[in-house]
Structure 1
Amino acid sequence: MGKSFEQYQRRKLISSYFSVVLSIGLVLFLLGVLGLLVLNTNKMANHFKEQITLSVFLKDNAKEVEIDQLQKSLAMAEYTKSATYVTKEEAAENHSEEIGENFLDFLGYNPLKNSIDVNLNADFVSPLQIEEIAAELTAKNYVDEVSYDEPLVGLLSENVKRVSFWILVASAIFTFIAVLLINSSIRLSIYSKRFIIKTMQMVGATKTFIRRPFIWTNIKLGMLGALLALMVLIIALLYLDKNFPELGLFRDSSMLIGLFGSVFVLGIFISFISTYFATQRFLNLKTDELYY
């Protein structure tokens, strides 16, 4: 009879631990997915920003040395991702391919100008910054004009801010919910041992002594839950990378390591905090209050 009861208690304990690990793993996996979304949203936003082209059109009387000097200075500028010199002949050829016919045969001359196409780094793609760069370049006497899609820049900057704001709000709300879910699972686990806690306290054990094994046990459960979440997250990333290689999910290894490390540390931290306050609550209860 005693052996059967002991086996029942062991199964109940294992079931309790399993449910805690599973709930922690599920919540941390969802947090990892959200973190991955946040990081890649920023990457995608930067990708689109860096597709904005600033075309610096040069006057026909611009000297070759001036053009060469301008291209080199643009290539070395902190706001430049790439600077490509395009001759008027190359521009005409590209335009003819786009419209499907040679417009030079119709006009009889080439009205296009030599230019330098500049792709900016994402940090400098904003209406104000691009306007300042364009004004600086236009001031050069051999530059005819600087052209870029101004409405698109404004729309892109506005939408990126809006999307980033709502993703941050969603991240904050979801993190709060995740903490509550993990905290509830751990509190339920400790609730089943509330009489043991009170018995230990009544025989003279200090609060620190009573808390220590609970905290250490749940930290280990938090670590197991985090490892479970990371395993599932890696499998999901491998699947997405295989089916959507253009996303380049494994290109930034330092970002992924940081994300995985954050998920693991978060699992430990939440488990520690939740266990501490859950045990503290039952330690502060009176004996007759344990039944409610």
Structure 2
Amino acid sequence: MAENKKVSTVSFFNSRLTSVISIALVLFLLGLILLMGLLSNKLSVYVKENIAFSILLKDNQKEADIKRMQKSLDALPFIKSTEYISKEQAAKELEEELGENPETFLGFNPLQASMEVKLHSEYANPDSLKLIEKQIRTYTSVTDLLYRKDMMEMVHNNMKRVGIILLTLAVVLMCISFVLISNTIRLLIYSKRFLIHTMKLVGATPGFIRRPFVRYNVISGIFASILAILMLTGALYYLQNELKGFIQILDVQSLLIVYAAVLGLGILLSVVATIFAVNKYLRMGVDKLYYI
């Protein structure tokens, strides 16, 4: 009797451990997709907000007029930051790049004073830039605008493409995850199918029958989520050691969102899969239970 109880306990532990590990692996993959999505979004914002364009200014502008214009630009909702570059500073930067001052062989400074402007990420796209350019050209001090339109279009299109790919992967993986978790839970409940039928015969309601199975698998889902979070943390630690500065792209709030999403998905998928699995056996007649 004691030996049978011991075998039953070991079997129960092994089945639960297998279930937790299976669900954890699926949640780990889901967490990776979520992290990749957040990373791509952070990188997109970083790249877009660091692509500057130059506003070329007319010569002989008064310093007070330039400061007034810069203050006006900084107040615009789509501009993140501005930096004034004088003719002398522009010549110095060119000298550092070329190794020779243009005034030495030309006899004068051919460069114009300019205003380096960086936009907020949501405005750094081709459609918004057309409207922004039109508005900036209304300033009387402006002679021209210089920016890499092709680069901005490339960044915008590539980030959009990456977003669609990651969203598609997330949806596909979510469906696969539900199927895998559902099959894992169904196998656990399979051995209890006659118990479910017996409870149904004695008048137990479907909700009463489902409750212990849901509670059992919610606990398994929580353990699986914790294991998946530990695996994600280990993966991030490894990436940080291999790619210095990698972890700085993700802030603590973003990581907490991913961890909370993994925990929530672990519980949600476990509950939904359990309800589907138990309902399957609730609808079956006793004769079918012997042939599945």
> Shared fold (TM-score greater than 0.5)?
yes
**1:137-286 equivalent positions in 2, closer than 5 A:** 137-249=136-248, 251-286=250-285
Deviates more, 1:279-288 or 1:70-79: 70-79
What is the aligned-residue RMSD (CA, Å)?
Answer: 1.4
Percent of aligned positions with the same letter in both sequences?
37
Q: Secondary structure at the match of 1:245?
A: coil
Q: Give CA-to-partner distance per residue, 1:41-71, whole Å, 9 cap, x none.
A: 0111111111211101110032222100111
Structure 2: which amino acid aligns with 1:270?
A: L
Q: 1:78: how far off?
A: 1.8
> Which residue of the partner structure matches residue 36 of structure 2?
37
Unpaired runs of 5+ residues, structure 1, are: none
Unpaired runs of 5+ residues, structure 2, are: none
Aligned residue-pair number: 291
Cα pair 1:241 1:247 within 8 Å, conserved: yes
Q: Secondary structure at the match of 1:119?
A: strand
Structure 2: which amino acid aligns with 1:141?
A: T
Structure 2: which amino acid aligns with 1:50?
A: E
CA distance, structure 2, for counterparts of residue 267 and residue 277 of structure 1: 16
CA distance, structure 1, for counterparts of residue 125 and residue 210 of structure 2: 53
Structure 2: which amino acid aligns with 1:60?
A: D
> Which residue of the partner structure matches residue 133 of structure 2?
134
CA distance, structure 2, for counterparts of residue 237 and residue 179 of structure 1: 25
Q: 1:201: how far off?
A: 1.8
Q: 1:249: how far off?
A: 4.4
CA distance, structure 2, for counterparts of residue 206 and residue 61 of structure 1: 87
Q: 1:251: how far off?
A: 4.8
> Which residue of the partner structure matches residue 101 of structure 1?
100
Q: Secondary structure at the match of 1:12?
A: helix
CA distance, structure 2, for counterparts of residue 148 and residue 81 of structure 1: 16
Cα pair 2:83 2:115 within 8 Å, conserved: yes
Deviates more, 1:50-59 or 1:68-77: 68-77
Structure 2: which amino acid aligns with 1:291?
A: Y
TM-score (normalised: structure 1): 0.95
Q: Secondary structure at the match of 1:248?
A: helix
**1:46-125 equivalent positions in 2, closer than 5 A:** 46-125=45-124
Q: Secondary structure at the match of 2:118?
A: strand
CA distance, structure 1, for counterparts of residue 237 and residue 93 of structure 2: 39
CA distance, structure 2, for counterparts of residue 249 and residue 16 of structure 1: 40
Deviates more, 1:273-282 or 1:129-138: 129-138
Deviates more, 1:75-84 or 1:242-251: 242-251
Structure 2: which amino acid aligns with 1:243?
A: E
TM-score (normalised: structure 2): 0.95
CA distance, structure 1, for counterparts of residue 256 and residue 67 of structure 2: 42
Structure 1: which amino acid aligns with 2:81?
A: S
Deviates more, 1:103-112 or 1:249-258: 249-258
